[in-house]
């Protein structure tokens, strides 16, 4: 059959797209990345269940955005606890280190004055050396009016074991008190509680008395020289004990466990040791330091972040006065220094 004079039988017509036309887009299910290597961990699309590469921000199948996990907001009390801990733990404890150095330095001076004998390190320094460096003795305080002996014994020790035990206690407890209350309060606390312990020791020496089993825990009938920082250390324990009770409602959980009731076992163990060794341990000094520290913590607040400048200045002045008392006390020791071995 012919149409228009041109035969169509046996011919095959090929239709090609114009050069400017675009190829049809791929179906949605073919929108997968060419490179199947993903870094990290893939996830599942919550909309269509397709596998999503770790680096993808949207599903390549349905186009749904990948939901990012939202960090849980900390409750208010947890945020407070974190800020509290940072504010306290970031504070320096300079004077804890200063007191450590001073105690060891004076100990070395006392050992040198004892002839650097090895026996003196373990048995103890001779009494003339203890008296010369400012040991507490009722006769020299009461009769000779050497008042500085209420302060200087805080920095003196009788032998190597004595100084190591007390300085270890200072290294463990001192930084906490200094961070909680600040360096200025810490210096005042150390000097005041230490002197209170020496004073308690002075008041409980009753020559010629015959104390019973219980009374002998505190009362002594002989005026032996007494030295050591343990009164001040018990003062720091008393401060932490009252601190934990006084601020228990605003302390983070870790602080509650460490202070307050957490100090009771330490107090009881040390008092038991003192009772067992009451013939050589000055328990009155320990108890005087403990009670004075507790009294100070009851009336003095800890150093809160952002406290007024006027409060800081007041405590700085008290800190300088406390350090001045220590310096003047040892100046009097040097002025009256005399060793007759």
Distance CA 325, CA 14 (A): 112
* Contact status, residue 128 vs residue 174, Cβ threshold 8 Å: no
Distance CA 288, CA 232 (A): 9
> CA separation (Å) from 313 to 92, 252, 291, 307?
18, 28, 27, 11
In 3D space, the residue among 143, 162, 130, 124 whose CA is nearest the CA of residue 202 turns out to be 143
Among all residues, which ones are annotated catalytic? 230, 286
* Contact status, residue 324 vs residue 109, Cβ threshold 8 Å: no
In 3D space, the residue among 279, 287, 280, 275 whose CA is nearest the CA of residue 159 turns out to be 280
Buried-exposed string 307-328: b where 16+ CB fall within 10 A, e elsewhere: eeeeeeeebeebbeebeebbee
């Amino acid at each position: 059959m012919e149409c228009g004079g041109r035969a169509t039988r046996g011919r095959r017509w090929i239709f090609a797209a114009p050069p400017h036309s675009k190829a049809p887009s791929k179906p949605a299910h073919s929108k997968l990345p060419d490179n199947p290597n993903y870094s990290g961990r893939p996830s599942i699309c919550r909309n269509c269940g397709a596998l999503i590469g770790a680096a993808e921000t949207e599903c390549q199948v349905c186009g749904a955005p990948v939901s990012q996990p939202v960090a849980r907001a900390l409750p208010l009390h947890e945020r407070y606890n974190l800020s509290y801990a940072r504010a306290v733990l970031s504070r320096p404890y300079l004077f804890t280190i200063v007191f450590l150095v001073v105690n060891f330095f004076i100990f070395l001076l006392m050992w040198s004055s004892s002839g650097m004998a090895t026996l003196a390190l373990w048995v103890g320094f001779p009494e003339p050396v203890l008296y010369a460096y400012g040991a507490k003795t009722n006769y020299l305080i009461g009769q000779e009016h050497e008042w500085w002996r209420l302060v200087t014994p805080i920095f003196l020790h009788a032998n190597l074991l004595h100084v190591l035990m007390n300085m270890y206690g200072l290294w463990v407890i001192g930084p906490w008190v200094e961070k909680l209350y600040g360096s200025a309060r810490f210096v005042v606390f150390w000097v005041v509680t230490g002197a209170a312990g020496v004073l308690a020791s002075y008041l409980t020496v009753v020559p010629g008395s015959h104390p019973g089993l219980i009374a002998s825990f505190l009362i002594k009938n002989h005026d032996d020289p007494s030295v050591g920082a343990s009164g001040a250390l018990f003062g720091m324990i008393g401060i932490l004990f009252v601190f934990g009770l006084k601020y228990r409602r605003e302390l983070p959980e870790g602080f509650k466990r460490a202070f307050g009731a957490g100090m009771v076992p330490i107090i009881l163990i040390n008092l038991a040791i003192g009772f067992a060794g009451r013939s050589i341990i000055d328990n009155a000094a320990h108890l005087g330091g403990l009670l004075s520290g507790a009294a100070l913590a009851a009336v003095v607040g800890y150093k809160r972040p952002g406290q007024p400048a006027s409060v800081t200045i007041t405590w700085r002045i008290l800190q300088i006065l406390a350090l001045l008392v220590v310096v003047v006390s040892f100046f009097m020791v040097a002025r009256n220094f005399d060793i007759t071995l």
